[in-house]
Amino acid sequence: MFKIIMFVRKKQHLSTEEFIKLWEAHSQKVINYKEALLIKDYAKTFPFQPTDEKSSTQRETLPFTFDAMGELWYESKDDFLRARNTPEGQKALADLRADELKFVDMVNSVMWLGTEERIF
């Protein structure tokens, strides 16, 4: 599987509730475009909110300073690239990008693309 993982920071002026609501609406757009973009799976993860400082990280790693994580899966890198080079795919990407700019702080978010190796 080929996938995109995005560590998302919300726009500073948004509350967490506003951010989640805007992302819920965005998720519907992703669902609507899944065939044009050849998306196999889509997931969102929101961080664990610890009750004490000690439980905020595991194994002495850096704390997670993002507001959420999004993941998109594709059957292959070729599917990912092919969908982006069709008129329908380009229209979908433009619409999704415009929508993301309403709630995502792109400059302080991180996007990572890679091939997943499932172990089990």
> pLDDT tens across 52-83, in order?
666 555 677 777 789 999 999 999 999 999 99
Residues of the chain with pLDDT under 70: 49-58
Measured CA to CA, the distance from residue 106 to residue 61 in angstroms comes to 24
Q: What pLDDT score does 111 carry?
A: 96
Question: How many whole angstroms from its chain centre is CA 79?
Answer: 18
Upper half-sphere CA count for residue 21 (Cβ side, 13 Å): 5
Residue 70: which of 118, 11, 20 has the closest Cα? 20
Residue 71: which of 102, 29, 35, 41 has the closest Cα? 41
